[in-house]
Structure 1
């Protein structure tokens, strides 16, 4: 009888320990998961606000802005908006621009909140160029990203450079093309660098 009670007691303590482990965190979302969900919800809210703003409403007008090249610093404080060419548009239809998601990754103090506030426009033009061929006659393409930063009030291009992607990757015998890329995070880093935000 005593032996049975010991087994029952041991079983009871094991079950209680297991239940405590589950309810103490294993069975509920972690703080990291909650934080990630909160960040995603905030981002989605910002996207919704942006897409209903006059910034997005004026993208076509921003795409037409040109300026004389006059390298110099950004106005202070800089309030920035970023647009990029829409690569889904066929070449024959002409170039079309949309707002860039890089805008959402800018520090809060750099983000223009309205057309009236925006004094710096960043235009990204992204494209591929044929840069070689493979032994199977496949074509090698390299990615280019042209960054143009305009002082809206002065009507000048205060910075312009082109980032060149990595060498095109090798391809298998059955593939017809290989591509070299410019990582998106490097484009953002290059923009931030101009505004004095050094990489941490």
Structure 2
């Protein structure tokens, strides 16, 4: 009887160890999976950004101006990107927010704090009417102005405007059509300035 009890205890102990090891491996596998999951990585980046002082200073960054003095990016550039908030109604004044393109920047270029940020990229997007359709509908083209500022020097070291595609065709009952500038075009243009060739 005693031998049976000992065997039972040994069996339960071994089973417990086995289950513990499996659960431990499972959690590490879950962590590894989440660390390679693009959505999880982006959520982590957004959380880190929202906890930094960069977000709180967006209004101050929007007010930064500079004298145009085209030149290279400073050594060891640490960049933050803001863009005008297009949801703000016309006539209410421009409002800026951080640009999601910042999250697509190489990690070595991303500023993590206000003190670290030495290059500011300001994006200003807008539409202009560029044509009229046969049904008198209006055709609009998108423009994205890119302004890159050397924060320490107080100068605009690069500025250019990307012009969108030709407005798309519209149906007879539609009143307007739009041409666009893709986000990847804006990102590639900015990265090219910092010496990152298009892939």
TM-score bracket for the superposition, by shorter chain length = 0.7 to 0.9
Q: Counterpart of 2:40?
A: 41
| Distance in 2, Cα, partners of 1:88 & 1:124 | 15
Q: Counterpart of 2:27?
A: none
Q: Counterpart of 2:171?
A: 172
1:72-110: CA deviations, max 9, x gaps? 001110000000000000112100000000000000000
Q: Counterpart of 1:191?
A: 190
Per mean C-alpha deviation after superposition, the further-off stretch among 35-44 and 88-97 is 35-44
Q: Counterpart of 2:126?
A: 127
Provide the secondary structure at the position in 2 that maps to 1:160. Answer: strand
Q: Counterpart of 2:71?
A: 72
| Distance in 2, Cα, partners of 1:129 & 1:91 | 13
Alignment of 1:11-22 (within 5 A): none
| Distance in 2, Cα, partners of 1:152 & 1:164 | 26
Alpha-carbon contact 2:192-2:198 (below 8 Å) kept: yes
TM-score normalised according to structure 1 size: 0.81
Alignment of 1:1-200 (within 5 A): 34=33, 38-200=37-199
Shift of 1:36: 9.0
Q: Counterpart of 2:23?
A: none
| Distance in 2, Cα, partners of 1:152 & 1:194 | 16
Which segments of 5 or more consecutive residues in structure 1 lack a partner in the other structure? Answer: 1-33
| Distance in 2, Cα, partners of 1:37 & 1:184 | 23
| Distance in 2, Cα, partners of 1:36 & 1:112 | 21
Which segments of 5 or more consecutive residues in structure 2 lack a partner in the other structure? Answer: 1-32
| Distance in 1, Cα, partners of 2:118 & 2:110 | 10
Provide the secondary structure at the position in 1 that maps to 2:74. Answer: coil
Provide the secondary structure at the position in 2 that maps to 1:42. Answer: helix
| Distance in 1, Cα, partners of 2:48 & 2:34 | 21
